[in-house]
Structure 1
């Protein structure tokens, strides 16, 4: 009997807890603030592989998971977890994020999230956050702290929760045969690539903002130099 489980090892987690445990972990990662360390992306992909015909080669005989239960349970857990996080933020967010000595719930997260919402809008912010580890955990209470309307948050929470869980599960399910032989070696790079692609709009926007700012600073410098020259001539 296995007495210890590596909580950061998605493959070992699924082997130990099965479909119900996977669904519970998705809820914990998105709803319970202490669950930010769970490997949600890789957990869902390996869950999809474990529901495919390649399940036995990854987890061993008799370990195949029911794909229907995962496709229904995972998005529901992700949505419910995020709603809980939003509720926590709305109820106790200001007190939680105003502790100067806190190592986890820092005020700067609220400030950055506020800029994030202002730049991308609430819908895009909530949906994109689903594909970013750690951020998908903390964005929900921060959204509640910033008093994002519950109906607006719920709408985009559903969109993001479904897109995230179903896409990851189906990648594992349909590409299980190809992923099974190399899953231990290439899963993490694959997940990082997916995360990178999902946040590419944010990265593009950041680069544009920096170029715009650099251009503004350069224009201001030219104006100062020109103004100084005219002053000397006068």
Structure 2
């Protein structure tokens, strides 16, 4: 099966197109994207769907060609070893960026590193504990900002490192194996774009659930609920 560009997605969010751009360096490009999205200040990347597609490519149930027409292939063992490593390292770098630069990066009017993210991170970690680092892996944007806010909030490094490793392994291996396994069904191959959209919706659902909880709490307290701002 040869998979083409997904029309409803911009190129940098389309995992097929993105891997095609990387060509013979597809594995390196994949790992760089995972590393960057795991904590290095660029949160808008297709991490979840990219892992799913990588698993399908390893299973041989999807095909992506580079600009020269050569088919890109992955070995499953490479993905299961190197993806978690790239995710762990990205999180570690994000933590130390936040730790060393502290709150100076967070501004009230910043595009991504808003002061409110830091304030909410304190509450997020207090209410959910360090396991929040694992949960954040499965939420776009949040998985990039979580290590930064954890570092800026001075979370204990050994605790962060433990949960960062756990989250990276569960996320990286889990979604890759999901693509590897489900990609063998023909119906999955035919419905790739709706599946990618479903993955995105499922990933951002926790943000809307959290907003709904805060809105209900605000109504009970008799105050206006804060507006949702997933960006």
TM-score normalised by the chain length of structure 1: 0.78
Single out whichever of 174-183 and 82-91 deviates more from structure 2.
174-183
Does residue 174 of structure 1 match 2:181? yes
Task: Report if aligned partners of 1:86, 1:142 keep a CA contact under 8 Å in 2.
Answer: yes
SS of residue matched to 2:38: helix
Gaps of at least 5 residues in structure 2 are 1-9, 223-231
What corresponds to 1:16 in structure 2? 21
* CA distance 1:53–1:103, shift in 2 (3 Å): closer
1:4-27: CA deviation from partner (whole Å, max 9, x where unpaired)? x92221111122321221011100
SS of residue matched to 1:31: coil
1:98-122: CA deviation from partner (whole Å, max 9, x where unpaired)? x344322211110111111111112
In the alignment, the residues of structure 2 paired with residue 103 and residue 152 of structure 1 have an alpha-carbon distance, to the nearest angstrom, of: 29
What corresponds to 1:42 in structure 2? 49
Question: Matches of residues 25-174 of structure 1 in structure 2 within 5 Å?
Answer: 25-33=33-41, 35-56=42-63, 62-97=71-106, 99-123=107-131, 125-174=132-181
In the alignment, the residues of structure 2 paired with residue 37 and residue 211 of structure 1 have an alpha-carbon distance, to the nearest angstrom, of: 29
What corresponds to 1:188 in structure 2? 196
Structure with the bigger percentage of helix: 1
Q: RMSD over aligned Cα, in angstroms?
A: 2.5
1:76-118: CA deviation from partner (whole Å, max 9, x where unpaired)? 0001000100000000022111x34432221111011111111
Deviation at 1:145, TM superposition (A): 0.5
Deviation at 1:176, TM superposition (A): 1.1
* CA distance 1:37–1:214, shift in 2 (3 Å): closer
In the alignment, the residues of structure 2 paired with residue 127 and residue 88 of structure 1 have an alpha-carbon distance, to the nearest angstrom, of: 19
Tell which structure's C-alpha radius of gyration is larger: 1
SS of residue matched to 1:177: coil
In the alignment, the residues of structure 2 paired with residue 137 and residue 80 of structure 1 have an alpha-carbon distance, to the nearest angstrom, of: 12
What corresponds to 1:203 in structure 2? 209
In the alignment, the residues of structure 1 paired with residue 108 and residue 219 of structure 2 have an alpha-carbon distance, to the nearest angstrom, of: 33
* CA distance 1:14–1:196, shift in 2 (3 Å): same
Deviation at 1:205, TM superposition (A): 10
